[in-house]
Chain A
Amino acid sequence: MSIEIRGVAKRYGDFTALENIDLSIPTGQLTALLGPSGGGKSTLLRIIAGLETTDSGTVEIEGTEATHLPPQKRNVGFVFQHYAVFKHLTVARNVAFGLEIRKRPKAEIKERVAELLELVHLSQFAERLPAQLSGGQRQRMALARALAVEPTVLLLDEPFGALDAKVRKELRDWLRRLHDDVHVTTVFVTHDQEEALEVADKIVVINQGRIEQIGTPDELYDEPANEFVAGFLGPVTELDGRTVRPHDIDVHREAVPGAVVGSVARVLRVGFEVRLSVLPDGGAPASRAVQVTLTRAHARDLTAGTKVWLTPADRG
């Protein structure tokens, strides 16, 4: 195990940011810390990096006891949401910073910087100042800078949070591919469940200072440990007292045994999918409507008022 966290807790005055966290992060994998803002995930990441101290418990990185080590001695790479570029240094000098601090020979630094800029596709921008780069380019530079020192672990704090949706998606794919090449143990913080599901090998859901669940993306999505995890990872609705995902409901046009009977209240088409609100029979209030998502093909002749029978879909 690459990072071992035992009994870590953090309070700010009356506010409990983290309580009694135990967590093992495996070597070589991409782990996401997922949760709503203010839930404590960033604090945990900063404690791993040594940018924040823990009130209790221990942090171990690759077998080294690191709880009281200053950030300089932990050999971690940290990437910040707002890039934290060194504005007065060129892109190449930014990337070289950690190596210069470590007093590596000039030739080696030059070679390593060229290699990294190649990796993040910024070779032609080496002599520019960060101000001349776009947000996505800056974040790639920050990533190269963090990787330059060959960190034991790479920590990313909402790395794509400040970018617009399109660039964000590109960088996400790119990070996944980069990780497949570099294989450095990576932990990244995000509040975007889609990002976590798409990129991570393993997801740790953190809420209100506690770990709600740890698992692979599929495990979390299909077998959420509780309603919070279910709701946070994707849309949910209630069918006959059970929490299910709207696309895990089968819609029948004729009576089926054990089905919930109701009539379609609203049909909303969004791109390739169709969202139905179905009001169960028995005069339930509108707020109790069951949400159902279908592909267009399956929603052919459904209109408001159509009578339907709903059953949970068989998985597998």
Chain B
Amino acid sequence: MTVATATVTGPARTRRSRPASNLTAASGLGLGVAVLWLSILVLIPLIAVVVAALEGGVGTFWAALTDPQTFAALRLTVLEALGVTALNVVVGTLIAWVLVRDEFPGKRVLDVVIDIPFALPTIVAGLVLLSLYGPASPVGINLVNTQQGIFLALAFVTLPFVVRTVQPVLLELDVDAEEAAASLGAGRLTTFRRIILPSLLPAITAGASLAFARAISEFGSLVLISGNTPYETEVASLKILKFIEGDNQAQAAAVATLLLLVAVVVIVALDLISRRVARRG
């Protein structure tokens, strides 16, 4: 399963600068329809969120975000997301490494299992985790309504991102370069640090950004497991839901706008990373 961004580098024949547009009548119409649909589905609704957030002025927007309870939820969300991203950077790279460089019976199964969190409905993911780490836990661990529970759920849903961005790069990696390093006297750790890691870094960064964005915005898997206690286990997305249910759309929109901003920053960052990698060839 590919989770890297699809970089658009353009048609095969781009050796020369070309005119600004080569749309034909038919493709121009297609573009019109596509932009219209995208506006109806994505653009207008998202603009509505930002407008709703800023309707009362920047002061109200700021006040909504700095409300102690909301601020606690945002703080928890960011800290949990950062923690889980750090975990993924290490474990994700490790899993990718084992999947590419190690050989053992059942490796293919492991490879397939990595995709499960990606394909599993988020509410089911929550249920799955609850069944082992909830009140009826067969191992006696109950993480419901704890920050560890949130961390667990986030680790579950973000598992594939770093693995799936690093894995293909590792597969393509030139083994000759490692052997050259080894022949020049570099130990395995040095080879990893000086030769392999630099090549993996863009992929790791891309995967980490995706994992962070997902963790910040995660909702479904947390509904059942985070007890939603203000100041303790309430995250941003659940806070938004609470605002909506309390008919407090302006404050919901304020938090949503912040999440949206993070999403845009991550997307643009990913775009830049993949462009840089594409240019390096």
Contact = CB atoms under 8 A, between A and B. Distances in A.
Nearest to A11: B16
Contacts of B16: 12-13, 15, 17
Contacts of A13: 16-18
Contacts of B18: 12-13
B253 to A, nearest CB: 45
B17 to A, nearest CB: 3
B184 to A, nearest CB: 35
Contacts of A14: 17
Contacts, number: 10
A23 to B, nearest CB: 22
Interface in B5-54: 16-18
A38 B198 CA distance: 36
Nearest to A82: B12
A15 B17 CA distance: 8
A291 to B, nearest CB: 35
Interface residues of A, number: 5
A14 B16 CA distance: 9
Interface string A142-179: 00000000000000000000000000000000000000
Interface in A7-30: 12-15, 17
Contacts of A12: 16-18
Interface in A120-143: none
B108 to A, nearest CB: 26
A82 to B, nearest CB: 10
A44 to B, nearest CB: 15
A288 B57 CA distance: 81
Most buried by B among A12, A14, A17: A12
A13 B15 CA distance: 11
A15 B19 CA distance: 12
B23 to A, nearest CB: 14
Contacts of A17: 16
Interface string B94-123: 000000000000000000000000000000
Nearest to A52: B13
Interface string A15-51: 1010000000000000000000000000000000000
Interface string B243-271: 00000000000000000000000000000
A14 B18 CA distance: 9
Nearest to A43: B16
A13 B16 CA distance: 8
B191 to A, nearest CB: 36
A150 B163 CA distance: 54
A15 to B, nearest CB: 5
A249 B16 CA distance: 44
B236 to A, nearest CB: 47
Contacts of B17: 12-15
A50 to B, nearest CB: 14
Nearest to A13: B17
Contacts of A15: 16-17
A201 B17 CA distance: 35
A13 B18 CA distance: 6
Nearest to A14: B17
A13 B17 CA distance: 6
10 contacts: A12-B16, A12-B17, A12-B18, A13-B16, A13-B17, A13-B18, A14-B17, A15-B16, A15-B17, A17-B16
Q: What are the 6 tightest A-B residue pairs by CB atom distance, in nearest-first order?
A: A13-B17, A12-B16, A15-B16, A12-B17, A12-B18, A13-B16
Given A13-B16, A15-B17, 7 more contacts: A12-B16, A12-B17, A12-B18, A13-B17, A13-B18, A14-B17, A17-B16
